[in-house]
Structure 1
């Protein structure tokens, strides 16, 4: 059930993504900003997802038999959801590079010999045998589009699959953004990688207060965080930037980023937060250093492997996929932060389809760059009155999200 449609391409000509992003005239400042963001998003963006799937699962109260529709992104979320035994997961994404990555991660579980091979393939760096594992075990079993993508060449002329022999988490738009952030910090006398030497929450706090927090007072960093394009690598589109910048007198995101970096570094033990490892060490922790994502835990391996065929990956928008589904056919919806990109018409079109396809007791979860729900004052009253906003649980689980990148986490449950 994971076949890609034969007409899915992997080039930069991606009308689905363009239609989602472009809302202003080409030669306006807003239009140029949207087009630059779209150009950057035309390649691989997220080698791993930056939403905490453990928080998602608690919010959704996932049970065996549930039918889920989720945005794909880096694919870690849908693999983690599989550990709960859902009967079906539909993965949608407008970025064909993410589709190829989701397909590959599923294939790794289905076709590599065992758990250690999957962990080696998805969680280690500098393991050239991963390329041979792809050639031997995965390539013969996947569809032609996915095989061609990973056998294809990047702009450097190397096979794309080669990143799994090096470190895929240092690639993609986010990987390059993290690398640039490290360089910027080093130019100001701080080596972010030293953070992973912390051995207690107290040492984590000390590193933040003495090394990281002062960076946000530096004039150049305040200036660069006031430029929309400088933060596109975080996945912050122009619409999100404007909303966040409106909270600051100097239109800089320095204070917002400082606050969220504080949560990432100080609110969770380093051993339990693989997001912090990716941000500071640019890799996953070794076994003696900390925990891997839940989908790579040994006790989840068999369940995920056996249910990987229950996932179907679609090159489509959320609304487009739902429009093809019958009424009352979905139990859980995971929108990530996609609504932050939408205008009111797109929001109402989406929630019209969500409401139509939602079965009894359905739950929708999403994140926002700012703290407040994106739906307030924008979704039609006729749609809004059919959903209950679980404000208390949203706040509690938003605080528990280890990725620390978003301002708000939101849970809506279908009224009886």
Structure 2
């Protein structure tokens, strides 16, 4: 449930509206304004304008296993929170080009690129993005990042919100409690505490058996509560996960026992299937931060051992405000080796999917790889993308299922890998 790519071929934006907002609106809106579905789409577009994902919720280790990134590969990915785009640099690609319709995510990623390039050492970088709650982060921003930011991104971070604080201050007030996702997780914690449960107690578990016992005794019963079942039956309740109305429908199709049961199963996997020592997604969900232990799990880009390599290659990464399809439309034939679509296809129409895959196929280099995730388990492309396009690609079904089983974020129904066939 990630940043909206809106992989469409776009017409010229309306002059009366900012381009980024117009792109986002067009990616979301598929129904008449005054219809129930149309109102839901517009509400989602409104809440999605700001920062949604301080951390991306796709496992970068799984991505890199699937993509088999080779030195010199050219990658195009949806940006979202930027964790994965930066992590790909570990594999020594020639370029990582990130795109996003959300202008807040573009500013967030450009801040991260500037931090990698200009902070004096790893400790300052980790304090900024790992702990993300130190008052010294403002001084670090002003000294090391601000002079290197483009004017648009600088204006975004220095704008004051209704509270009177500048946006950059979230790095002194626990970054991961902010953004739409941070707010959603916080609401989940508050609801749990209403029933006498503190989700942070899961992090005291020392073994997988301990994790299972806590989940079964404390977390699972919450999904039987009337309030929880009522709330999760509303599409708007999951906007905080970045789930637009179209994707809610796809997620709901994953089972017939109600949304609460589907979410319970996904959270069970997150809580019980991976040791806490290896799963930073569980730390974020149940603790709202990374582990405070030096050896605690972190995203690859944020690990001390990877910092030097990422820093040396940071000039190969870029972020632009665009849709995936329009970005590819400007690229030459055969110029991309790896495509990362996150879960954006879940809310596309058949027409949008075909436009996207025509551009992917045209720009794909020999042996190109495409990865994406879906709310439901099934691969959504067969029957929707034209056979003449889809037959150019080999779907690695067995490998996809194995990779899905390794995805520590645990919130998706399926992981999918397609490889361009040899001519």
Identify which range, 335-344 or 211-220, moves more after superposition.
Answer: 211-220
Q: Residue 404 of structure 1 corresponds to which residue in structure 2? A: 410
CA distance in 1, matches of 2:226, 2:144: 52
Q: Map of 1:199-278 to 2, 5 A cutoff?
A: 199-249=206-256, 252-278=258-284
- Structure 2 match to 1:357: 363
Give unmatched runs, 5+ long, in structure 1.
1-9
TM-score for both structures, normalised by structure 2: 0.94
Work out the CA distance in 1 between the residues paired with 2:295 and 2:162.
Answer: 34
Kindly report which structure 2 residues correspond to 1:19-38, keeping only aligned pairs within 5 A, or say none. Answer: 19-38=26-45
Range 136-145 or range 94-103, more displaced: 136-145
| Counterpart position of 1:81 | 88
What SS is found at the alignment partner of 1:19? helix
Per the alignment, residue 4 of structure 1 pairs with none
Question: 2: distance between equivalents of 1:277 and 1:199?
Answer: 14
Deviation of residue 189 (structure 1)?
1.8
Q: Tell me how far 1:247 sits from its aligned partner.
A: 4.7
CA contact (8 A) 1:12 1:42 kept: no
C-alpha distance in structure 2 between counterparts of 1:338 and 1:350, whole Å: 11
Q: Secondary structure at the match of 1:181?
A: helix
Q: What SS does structure 2 have at the residue aligned with 1:272?
A: coil
Q: What is the Cα deviation at residue 216 of structure 1?
A: 1.0
What is the root-mean-square deviation in Å for CA atoms of aligned residues?
A: 1.5
What number of residue pairs does the alignment pair up? Answer: 407
Judged with a 3 Å threshold, the aligned counterparts in structure 2 of structure 1 residues 151 and 268 are, in CA distance, closer, same or farther, namely same
Please state how far the C-alpha of 1:198 moved relative to its aligned partner: 1.0
Q: Is the 8 A contact 1:55 1:400 kept in 2?
A: yes
Q: Give the aligned partner of residue 284 of structure 1.
A: 290
1:339 counterpart residue number = 345
The CA deviation at 1:245 is 2.2
Q: Deviations over 1:179-206 (max 9, x none)?
A: 0011111112211111111111111000
**Does the CA-based 8 Å contact 1:12-1:43 persist in structure 2?**
no
Partner residue in 2 for 1:147: 154
Counterpart position of 1:49: 56
**In the superposition, relative to structure 1, how do residues 99 and 220 fare at CA in structure 2: closer, same or farther (>3 Å)?**
same
The residue aligned with 1:321 is 327
How much has 1:249 moved relative to structure 2? 4.4
144-153 or 400-409, larger mean C-alpha shift: 144-153
Partner of 2:400 in structure 1? 394
Which aligned runs of 4 or more in structure 1 are off by greater than 3 angstroms? Answer: 10-13, 246-250
Deviation for aligned residue 1:133: 0.2
How far apart in 2 are the matches of 1:307 and 1:178?
A: 33
Distance in 2 between the 1:86 and 1:288 partners?
Answer: 29
Q: 1 CA distance for matches of 2:144 and 2:273? A: 41
> CA shift at 1:12, angstroms?
10
- 2:182 is aligned, of 156, 170, 175, to 175
CA distance in 2, matches of 1:57, 1:229: 33
- Could you tell me which runs of 5 or more consecutive residues in structure 2 were left unpaired when the two chains were aligned: 1-16
